[in-house]
């Protein structure tokens, strides 16, 4: 999961 942190973050953002 650490390897895909940007994708993870963008999916979690509410926008």
Q: Give start and end residues of each alpha helix (H) in 1-15.
A: 5-12
- CB 14, min distance to other proteins, A: 9
The site string for other proteins over 1-15 (x = CB under 8 A, - otherwise) reads --xxxxxx-xxx--x
- CB 4, min distance to other proteins, A: 6
| Rounded-to-integer distance, Cα 14 and Cα 2, Å | 20
| Rounded-to-integer distance, Cα 9 and Cα 12, Å | 5
Find out whether 8 and 15 touch, Cβ atoms under 8 Å.
Answer: no
- CB 5, min distance to other proteins, A: 8
The footprint of other proteins (CB under 8 A) covers 3-8, 10-12, 15
């Amino acid at each position: 999961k650490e390897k895909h942190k940007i994708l993870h973050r963008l999916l979690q953002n509410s926008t």
